[in-house]
Amino acid sequence: MKKTEESKAENIRNCVRKGYSEIAVGKKSSCCCNDNSEKLVTELGYSQTELASLPDGANMGLSCGNPTAIASLKEGDVVLDLGAGGGFDVFIAAEKVGKTGKSIGVDMTYEMLMKARNNISEFTKRTGLKNVEFRLGEIEHLPVADSSIDVVISNCVINLSPDKGQVWREIFRVLKPGGRAAISDLALLKPLPENVLEAVSALVGCVAGAVLTDETEKMIKDAGFSEFRFEKKSGYVDKMTQWNDPLYLSIIELLPKGDKLSDYITSLNISVIKTSV
């Protein structure tokens, strides 16, 4: 990566880190946080049983899909969540993999990491499980050994990365042969207007960093994956914009008159398998 590109990438990381630090300490609302957070994850397919054992505050409304559902997790799996936030999907995965498995979360935002780690003791009290760990790190440079992970999951995070190709190469590196990734993310149906791309709220809101599905497919192939599947969930964005979240309303105001956010963005489930060593 050239120096100017590295500088731009670091500026994006700093913007995202600052935005999510403020969300972690309660200074800023997340995409569908607070009043809508339980409604959001219920509509995304999380069950009341899964939500019941979550520590208070782990659900921060940062989801745009349900990666644990498409991951088909089983007892004994070692799971890695990219961009773990307050630990929402990490804790849900931990129950699915049980005491013989392990659930690891990685996040680059210190405040999020501390929030997640502070939730571990409550999770253990509720479930009796001690199989959760949170690590500080960037998803482009995962603090994880080669070929050590059975399943990688991520929920509305890869779109925030300034180097998504590197993220997919890291996913390939850490997965065991035969390992799989289940990613829920936002993807573009068509290019966003330039003024939306420049808006900080759009970036923190998981919109400006989204790319076209064809671009994601190329990055997945270039990383070494030969087996993958996409599933679009077009109704998700419309539901989010109906909840009058200030962040998304500010993005919608930047769109051409008559356009909807769902004209440009869709929720996307991505399933990949590492078929080679």
d(CA 262, CA 217): 21
Residues 6+ apart with CB under 8 A from 28: 19, 22, 204
H helix runs in the chain, sequence order: 3-24, 37-43, 48-52, 67-70, 88-97, 110-118, 120-127, 164-174, 194-197, 200-204, 213-223, 235-242, 246-252
pTM given for the model: 0.83
What pLDDT score was predicted for residue 182?
96
What pLDDT score was predicted for residue 39?
56
The residue with tokens 């994880």 is: 144
What pLDDT score was predicted for residue 32?
41
What pLDDT score was predicted for residue 174?
98
Q: Kindly state the tokens that stand for 74.
A: 């089983």
pLDDT tens column, 229-264 = 999 887 777 776 666 666 677 778 888 998 988 888
Sort 230 into a burial class: Cβ within 10 Å, 0-12 / 13-18 / 19+: middle
| 134: CATH | 3.40.50.150
Residues in the chain, pLDDT under 50: 27, 29-36
Count the domains in the chain.
Answer: 1
Q: Give φ, ψ of 229 to 5 degrees.
A: -150, 140
pLDDT tens column, 187-218 = 989 998 888 877 766 666 667 678 899 999 99
64 lies in which domain range?
3-273
The alpha carbons of the chain give a radius of gyration, in whole angstroms, of 17
Helix (H, G, I), strand (E, B) or coil at 235: helix
